[in-house]
Amino acid sequence: MTINAENLMLVGGVGAFLMTLHWVRVRELRERSAIAWLLVATLLLFTGLFPEVIERAAEWSHLSYPAAVLFVALTIIYLNSFFVSVSLTKQYRWNVRLTQQLALLEERVRRMEKDTKE
Amino acid sequence: MRHLVVIPAFNEEAALPGTVARLGGLPEEYEILIVNDGSRDSTKRVAEELAARSNRPLHVVSLPVNCGIGVAVQTGYRFAAAAGDRFKYVIQFDADGQHDAEFIGLLVAQCEFQHLDLCVGSRFLKNFGPGSRSTFSRRIGIRFFARLIGLMSNVRVTDPTSGFRCLGPRAWERFAEAYPEDYPEPESLFWCARNRLNVGEAPVRMFERQGGVSSIRQLRTLYYMVKVSLAIIFDRLRRRESPAGAAP
């Protein structure tokens, strides 16, 4: 097998599929998050199997083949990272709310215990 | 009607006893809440000892991890909200000994008589002597935020970064739900001004900090300036809220 962009994307796609499936299987990645990564893997496989898609996209956008690949890759990375940041912000808010609730409840329990003793 | 003095404390074991002692002269309608923000020193133990010895209700809420000043202060507002209508005013008061407890009554009186939702203790309205007005570089930053807030909301303030402030129910009930996480003072002041809550200032004396570490250190100053400015600009882009009773 010669090493070229198409084959690399094919190998990358298979690798991404296996990695995603493994992490979901060991419950370290939620199915919900896995969907985005499975889509990335599918896209990589698809462009590896059908390189003419990228070629046509490159021609349409007046970019060279490597530039078009880079553009697609950067778009994917950007979108994924952005939504991970959004998700982290949400998680942070939940964590803060839970932490505050825990501390307030702890104070309340301590006060009730003290009142019961008295 | 009772009032709550909220003291956010992070690694303030040294300054906390003195700060609480200075609050001893407050009238009996004031209760104190120390919010230990996941301190790594013995702030929690010191606070609990102070609560056990206190003649007035002194509550201690301990966040299990360090969450930052905004979350600590908001925990105080949430504590007040959980108490129903027991508290009228909530006063934010630093644990490091910078704030003068004598001025708490003045802040509350300003809120009461001028119908303010937020009264900020300003160190620039009256000169109480050297050391009370922060460093030169900080004063530049404070002036910048005062101008920015004035430009964006048409409300004139002199000390938008002051953490010595008194909030009425309309302000603290909203902040119990949503409050900026870090460096919250200018942003929360801007929110009140923009959403037509009544904002004012009263002259207060401030001292050099008695212990602990400032949350605004040199390396973080740039982040602080950029973050707070962006937060104010973003908030300006949001739809106005309608807190109950706010001017139309």
Question: How many CB atoms sit inside 10 A of residue B224's CB?
Answer: 18
Is A107 inside a domain boundary?
A: no
Residues B161-198 as b/e (b if ≥16 CB within 10 A, e otherwise) read bbbbbbbbbbbbbbbbeebbbbbbbbbbbbbbbbbbbb
Q: Determine, for residues A100 and B64 on separate chains, whether the beta-carbon distance falls below 8 Å.
A: no
Is A12 inside a domain boundary?
A: yes
Question: How many CB atoms sit inside 10 A of residue A55's CB?
Answer: 14
CA dist A14 and A8 (Å) reads: 10
Are the CB atoms for B43 and B16 separated by under 8 Å? yes
Question: How many CB atoms sit inside 10 A of residue B84's CB?
Answer: 7
- The hierarchical CATH code for the domain B2-237 is 3.90.550.10
Listed by start position, the domains of chain B span 2-237
Range of the domain at A78: 5-84
Q: Determine, for residues B78 and A107 on separate chains, whether the beta-carbon distance falls below 8 Å.
A: no
At B209, list the tokens: 């900090």
Which among B212, B163, B204, B156 is positioned nearest to B184, based on CA atoms?
B163
Any chain A CB within 8 A of the CB of B52?
no
Q: Determine, for residues B59 and A107 on separate chains, whether the beta-carbon distance falls below 8 Å.
A: yes
Rounded to two decimals, the ipTM of the complex is 0.82
Q: For residue A40, is pLDDT > 80?
A: yes
Task: Read off the pLDDT of each residue in A96-115 and give the average, rounded to a whole number.
Answer: 94
- Rounded (5°) CA angle B99-B14-B10: 70
User: Which residues make Cβ contacts (< 8 Å) with residue B128, sequence separation at least 6?
Assistant: B203, B205, B206
Contacts of B59 in chain A (CB under 8 A): 107, 111
Q: What is the pLDDT of residue B133?
A: 65
Are the CB atoms for B5 and B30 separated by under 8 Å? yes
| Inter-chain Cβ pairs, chain A and chain B, closer than 8 A | 34
Higher-pLDDT residue of A115, A106: A106
Q: Determine, for residues A99 and B65 on separate chains, whether the beta-carbon distance falls below 8 Å.
A: yes
- Window 68-97 of B: residues touching A by CB (8 A cutoff) are 71, 74-75, 78-79, 82
Q: How does pLDDT run along chain B (248 residues), one tens digit per residue?
A: 899 999 999 999 999 999 999 999 999 999 999 999 999 999 999 999 999 999 999 999 999 999 999 999 999 999 999 999 999 999 999 999 999 999 999 999 999 999 999 999 999 988 776 656 667 778 888 999 999 999 999 899 999 999 999 999 999 999 999 999 888 999 999 999 999 899 999 999 988 765 555 555 666 778 888 888 988 888 888 888 776 655 55
Is A112 inside a domain boundary?
A: no
Count of domains in chain A? 1
- Window 37-96 of A: residues touching B by CB (8 A cutoff) are 96
